[in-house]
Structures are given as C-alpha cells and as structure tokens.
C-alpha cells in the first residue's frame, strides 16, 4: 500500500510517499507560504496542488494528513468523514495557524484522490487521555467549561514516535518505561510518557504554553498579559502577535529564531544571545525535573526536533547538573551524536548513567503513514456496531412470599423507573442485606416479582459482607450462597440466592445474527475508550425476543475500566476460539451508565 503523507504547517507543507514496506519513495517540502500577495507568496492551496503534480506519476492507495487539533474527544487517528472535518473546523479557533490549512489540504486531496481512504492523524490525540489533574487549569470551573479551557497538548505524533524508538533502543516494553521526551524544534514541548501514555505535556490549551520556542514565549505569568493589555500599548491581536511571533528565541536574542545564528552571536560575546540560550536550556531542565517528580522517577530522557537532534551544546546545557537524577552526560558521545535517516537514534550518556539520554531523529511522516495504514486495515473489517454498556449496581429480585415477609402481607412492589430491558423496572422498595461480617443497606428491589429469590452483588460487596458468593448466570441460584434480608416488616434467612452476576450481553435475535453469535455463547470483550483498557473474558451472550442490545457489567468491572459519566467505550470480542466466536466485528459501545439498582 503506497501512502502519501501531507503535513501542513503554519508556513510550510511537507509531503512524503511511503511504499508498503515503509520505504520512502519520495518526499519534499514547500516553505515560506502565506497570503502575502504583495510578495507573491505561494499559498497553501497552491503548494498542495504543486505537491499533487509531483506525485502524479505514482500510485496512491491512501492519504494520511497531519492535523494539529482534534480536541479532547479524538484519541485515535480517524478515517476522514464529515464528523472528522467538523471536529477539525470546530477547533480552528484553538489552532488558527494550523487547522484551517489542514482542512483545506484534506478537501483538495479528497478532490484529487476521491476513491482512496483519507486518514487524519492528530497532534492532540496522544495527549487526549492525560489525567484530569494534568488537563485542568485552576480557574473557575464554570468559566473553564463554558469556554472549553483545558490543556490539550500538541506534538503528540513526534512524542509518541520518539518514545517508541527509545523503548526499542532500550530493549524494554514502552509500557514499563517512564520517559521524558523533549521535542525541540521551532515549536518546542516536553512530554512525560509514563508507561506508554502521555500523562503531562508542556503545551496546553494552545501551542503557546511551556518551553521557550523559536518565536513563541512559552510560559508567561498571566498577570503580565493583563498589565500589557491595561497599558493600552497593545490590542488583543497585537499581544497575540507579540507572544506567538515576536517572543521566544527571537524576542530574547533580537537576532532571529534560528538557534545556529544565536549560537554564533553568543560565541562573539552577544549578551542577549547568551541570555536566550540560557533561558531556553533552563526552562527545559526545569520541565525535566518537574516531570521526573510527576512520574515518581524517570528511565530515559529523549531529545528530538531540529534543536534536540542537532545541537550538542544545547543538550549539554539542558542536562547539566542532572546527575542527582542519575543522568550523567558523556561529553564525547554527545558531541559525536548524529542522527539521520539511516541511524535514527544515538545514546549520549555514560555507561554508568542510571537514566539514559537518547537523541532520536523524529519522523512524523513515517508515523502518520503507519497510522494511516493501520486505520485503513481496521476499517476494512466489518462495519462497527454499537453496544451500550449498563452498569448494574447491587440489587435483588424477590418472590411474592419473601416480599410479603419483608414489606407486609398487603404490600405490592411500587414501580419507580423502567429499566432498559422491556418489562423490567426498579422499585421504590429497598432491603438490607446482612452478612456475617457487615450489612449493606438500601439494596434496590427490581420488579416484577420472580419465582426465586436472587440477590446480585459485586466481589467488593462480598468481602464487605463476609460471604463467598458464586459467579452465576441470572436465574441459576441453586446451591448459591445463603444470606439474610431485612425489610421494614420482617427478616428472611435465605438458604440460597446470593450471587455475583455473570457478565453478559442481552441481544435481540437480530443482533445475535448480526454478530454471528448464539444464546449461551461465551465471548471475550475488549473495552477501550474508558480511562483504562480492559479485556473481559467469559461474557455470556443471552438472546431473547424481548431483549434489547446491552452489555451488563457490575460496578467492580466498570470501575476497573474507569468508565466515567458519558464515557464511550469500544468493545471488540477478542479472538478466543475461532469456532465459537467467529465474529470479530469491532463493536463501539456507549457507556450509557444505566444504573439498574
Ligand atoms: P519545526 O518545528 O519548524 O519543524 P525544526 O524541528 O526543523 O523546526 O527545528 C528548527 C530549529 O532547529 C531551528 O531553531 C534551528 O536553528 C535548529 N537547528 C537545526 N540544526 C541545528 C544545529 N546544527 N545546531 C543548532 N540548532 C539547529
């Protein structure tokens, strides 16, 4: 599969064409783009059109597009459809120098290559599952919510790629490593890659926060912005221009944003150039310390981007005095380190350094091509189908006799709320479940009344009560655990009836046909898209005319996947046994969080 990658930056468009073996067929870059017609600048649109002419002689099977901002909901590369285009459009105000060009490039590419899949790979996606403590600004949360003020992080494609190369070099799985990746180019950011995931990164709501960059300030006291606005010297747009285009290395040095020139000036004794270099290195070192603390340790520090890959002196400045962390630079290795297309990494610490420092040649285009291929293969599988997840809190089903003892001979269950399965409802009535060790109050009764008593609790509840209950399918209570129930009018000692419910998926026969499963089949299901990925085996398929498609798991299982309110999850039955589970449609599921109890 030949994949064309389009990487649209604020003033440049890069492209690369990879063949099926990830070999680069051709690449190129068109720079200094802009709308300045007075200077006859090439526009992004013209640049993209020129690129398509350049690659016209090759067969293109898929196109991968780099998109800077996809927002908090996009955690994965996506095959481009209208919803993805809308998400890119929605985040134009958050990434005004990138998203409009990406969107335009995608639309042109779709015109030129209408019959091949187009995939968007997002800079924000790698960071989309950062913990809330890292994404939240300490401002009034109502204001934050109304304006979508949260930290997103950028450069995710490069951080993820560099972390992967570092793990390969260290010969350890990424999910066992705590890495700090520093992408130091014209834009610059640091990322704490904790066990394979981004858990902190220095760019925030916009790419302006964090490290010192070519022309961007990085961190500035917000009070300074208020003072500058109050001074009357700057309009909002002028302040934007100051912080984004006239700050960073350029603003500090007064020389320009190219580190090489600043280094020459510093060598000639220019004080501002020296200060620029020192502020840049100090800020990066500060973030390394912060991220080591945030992760509770660090195994390796990874440098990438134009400065990270090429400037030995900047790497030395950044790593100086980090011996206390266990990171000891090897001056010779650092000086000689050279990364290029045939050598994608170099070690720059001494053999006795506990924390290794590695230089990695970033290759965002290759990463985009890889992801594009992966998404295209995944979407060639059968169409996704959505299964909602309902989380069952502890509850009980009672017989008429037990109900009468607990609530009085004349009482009848009082329906309170219909449940998703037709004919089932939660009742006003609640009972106390009593075990040898403890009791649990307010356990909800579900109606209608049944032929056998059945109390469904989680494993955690069992420990609390001090009872071992078997995992059983609903209705199969013979020989299950004894338990005492107490109601307002009386107490019943059941000799059996307490179970830990076997997780299951309710299905209408039509769904069963669509998933190619039958009643009683056991499938394994991977829940992704919650805060923690989770594979559940032994999930029973239950098929009935009256059932509505829904997976039922208990609170322990839901907590293990950290399914938050309104979370969405992707369920895919895992290939456990080809004969029994011949379905492996990817099932997207919305965690509807229906509380049954
Ligand atoms: P972008 O973020 O635009 O892709 P790059 O990753 O290409 O930027 O990084 C550009 C930066 O790298 C510039 O500041 C440039 O000065 C710096 N750089 C490139 N080569 C060297 C070098 N040999 N020594 C010092 N700085 C370098």
pLDDT digits (tens, 9 = 90+) for 119-134: 999 999 999 989 999 9
Asked whether 7 lines ligand 1 (CB < 6 A), one says no
Find the mean pLDDT for residues 53-80: 92
Looking from the CA of residue 263, the nearest atom of ligand 1 is 25
Whether the domain at 1-122 and the domain at 135-377 fall into the same CATH topology: yes
> Which position has the token pair 């999850």?
569
Query: Which of 126, 158, 250, 151 is closest to 206 using CA atoms?
Result: 151
Q: How many angstroms separate the alpha carbon of residue 305 from the centre of ligand 1?
A: 7
Angle of CA points 238, 122, 5, to nearest 5°: 105
CATH of domain 1-122: 3.30.420.40
Hey, where are the domains in the chain? 1-122, 135-377, 391-501, 504-595
Chain segment 516-552, per-residue pLDDT in tens: 778 888 777 777 656 777 778 778 889 999 888 888 8
User: Is residue 342 annotated as part of the catalytic site, yes or no?
Assistant: no
Looking from the CA of residue 187, the nearest atom of ligand 1 is 2
Strand pairing report for 13-18 and 24-30: antiparallel
Buried b (16+ CB within 10 A) or exposed e, 287-299: bbeebbebbeebb
What is the dihedral angle through the alpha carbons of 206, 211, 214, 216, rounded to the nearest 10 degrees?
40
Asked whether 304 lines ligand 1 (CB < 6 A), one says no
Asked whether 258 lines ligand 1 (CB < 6 A), one says yes
Q: How many angstroms separate the alpha carbon of residue 367 from the centre of ligand 1?
A: 20
> Up-side HSE of residue 178: CA atoms within 13 Å toward CB?
14
CATH of domain 135-377: 3.30.420.40
**356-360: strand order across its sheet:** 197-201, 188-194, 178-184, 300-304, 356-360, 345-347
Looking from the CA of residue 308, the nearest atom of ligand 1 is 12
3-state SS, residue 575: coil
Check 19, 73, 94, 123 and give the catalytic one: 123
pLDDT beyond 50 at 8? yes
Q: What are phi and psi of 75, to 5 degrees?
A: -110, -5
Helical (H) or strand (E) element with 455: strand 454-456
Contacts of 455 (CB under 8 A, 6+ apart): 394, 395, 396, 397, 433, 443, 483, 485, 494, 497, 498, 499
- The tokens describing 217, both together, are 């300030």
Considering only CA atoms, which residue is closest to atom 19 of ligand 1? 306
Q: Give the residue, out of 98, 185, 245, 255, with the most ligand 1 atoms within 8 A of its beta carbon, to mutate for a pocket test.
A: 185
Asked whether 406 lines ligand 1 (CB < 6 A), one says no
- The tokens describing 410, both together, are 């004349």
Structure confidence at residue 170 (pLDDT): 96
Q: How many angstroms separate the alpha carbon of residue 184 from the centre of ligand 1?
A: 8
Asked whether 260 lines ligand 1 (CB < 6 A), one says yes
Query: Which of 322, 351, 358 is closest to 337 using CA atoms?
Result: 358
Q: How many angstroms separate the alpha carbon of residue 225 from the centre of ligand 1?
A: 28
Residue 386's pLDDT band, with cuts at 50, 70 and 90, is low
pTM exceeding 0.85: no
Structure confidence at residue 593 (pLDDT): 32
Chain segment 208-260, per-residue pLDDT in tens: 999 999 999 999 999 999 999 999 999 999 999 999 999 999 999 998 999 99
Looking from the CA of residue 262, the nearest atom of ligand 1 is 16
Looking from the CA of residue 12, the nearest atom of ligand 1 is 3
Considering only CA atoms, which residue is closest to atom 7 of ligand 1? 306
Asked whether 306 lines ligand 1 (CB < 6 A), one says yes
Task: For residues 126 and 107, give the distance between their C-alpha atoms in angstroms, rounded to a whole number.
Answer: 24
Task: For residues 160 and 230, give the distance between their C-alpha atoms in angstroms, rounded to a whole number.
Answer: 41
Least trusted range by pLDDT, from 125-139, 347-361, 362-376, 565-579:
565-579
Q: How many angstroms separate the alpha carbon of residue 363 from the centre of ligand 1?
A: 14
DSSP 483-544: EEEE-SS-EEEEEEEEEEEPPEEEE-HHHHHHHT--TT-EEEEEEESSSS-EEEEEEEEEE-
Q: How many angstroms separate the alpha carbon of residue 186 from the centre of ligand 1?
A: 6
């Amino acid at each position: 599969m030949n994949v064309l990658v389009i990487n649209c930056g604020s003033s440049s468009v890069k492209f690369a064409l990879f063949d099926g073996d990830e070999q680069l067929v051709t690449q190129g870059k068109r720079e200094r783009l802009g709308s300045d017609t007075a200077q006859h600048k090439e526009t992004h649109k013209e640049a993209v059109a020129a690129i398509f002419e350049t690659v016209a002689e090759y067969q293109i099977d898929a196109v991968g597009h780099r998109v800077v901002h996809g927002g908090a909901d996009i955690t994965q590369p996506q095959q481009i459809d209208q919803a993805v285009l809308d998400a890119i459009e929605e985040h134009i105000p958050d990434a005004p120098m990138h998203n409009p060009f990406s969107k335009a490039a995608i639309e042109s590419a779709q015109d030129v290559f209408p019959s091949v899949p187009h995939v968007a790979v997002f800079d924000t996606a790698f960071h989309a599952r950062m913990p809330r403590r890292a994404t939240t600004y300490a401002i009034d949360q109502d204001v934050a919510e109304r304006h979508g003020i949260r930290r997103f992080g950028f450069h995710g494609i490069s951080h993820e790629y560099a972390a992967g190369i570092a793990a390969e070099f260290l010969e350890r799985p990424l999910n066992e490593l705590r890495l700090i990746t520093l992408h130091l180019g014209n834009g610059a950011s640091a990322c704490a890659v904790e066990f394979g995931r981004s858990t902190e990164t220095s760019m925030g709501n916009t790419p302006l926060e964090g490290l010192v960059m070519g022309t961007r300030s990085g961190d500035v006291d917000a009070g300074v912005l208020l003072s500058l606005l109050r001074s009357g010297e700057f309009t909002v747009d002028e302040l934007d221009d100051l912080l984004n285009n006239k700050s960073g290395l350029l603003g500090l040095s007064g020389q320009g944003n190219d580190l090489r020139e600043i280094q020459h000036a510093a060598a000639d004794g220019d004080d501002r150039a020296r200060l620029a270099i020192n502020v840049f290195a100090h800020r990066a070192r500060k973030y390394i310390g912060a991220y080591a603390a945030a992760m509770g340790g660090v195994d390796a520090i990874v440098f990438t981007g134009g400065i990270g890959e090429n400037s030995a002196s900047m790497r030395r400045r950044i790593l100086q005095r980090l011996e206390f962390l266990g990171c000891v630079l090897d001056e010779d290795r650092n000086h000689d380190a050279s990364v290029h297309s045939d050598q994608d990494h170099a070690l720059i610490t001494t053999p006795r350094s506990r924390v290794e420092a590695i230089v990695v040649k970033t290759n965002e285009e290759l990463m985009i091509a890889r992801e594009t291929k992966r998404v295209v293969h995944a979407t060639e599988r059968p169409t996704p189908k959505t299964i909602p997840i309902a989380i069952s809190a502890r509850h009980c089903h009672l017989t008429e006799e037990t109900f009468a003892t607990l609530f009085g001979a004349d009482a009848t269950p009082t329906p309170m709320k219909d449940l998703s399965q037709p004919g089932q409802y939660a009742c006003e009535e609640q009972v106390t479940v009593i075990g040898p060790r403890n009791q649990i109050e307010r356990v909800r009764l579900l109606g209608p009344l049944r032929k056998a008593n059945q109390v469904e609790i989680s494993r955690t509840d069992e420990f609390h009560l001090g009872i071992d209950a078997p995992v059983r399918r609903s209705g199969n209570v013979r020989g299950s655990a004894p338990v005492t129930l107490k109601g307002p009018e009386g107490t019943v000692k059941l000799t059996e009836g307490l179970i830990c419910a076997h997780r299951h998926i309710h299905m209408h026969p039509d769904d069963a046909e669509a998933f190619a499963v039958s009643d009683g089949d056991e499938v394994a299901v991977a829940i992704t898209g919650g805060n923690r990925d989770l594979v559940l085996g032994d999930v029973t398929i239950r098929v009935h005319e009256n059932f509505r498609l829904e997976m039922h798991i208990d609170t322990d299982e839901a907590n293990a996947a950290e399914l938050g309110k309104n979370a969405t999850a992707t369920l895919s039955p895992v290939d456990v046994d080809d004969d029994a589970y011949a379905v492996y449609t990817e099932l997207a599921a919305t965690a509807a969080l229906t509380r049954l109890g």
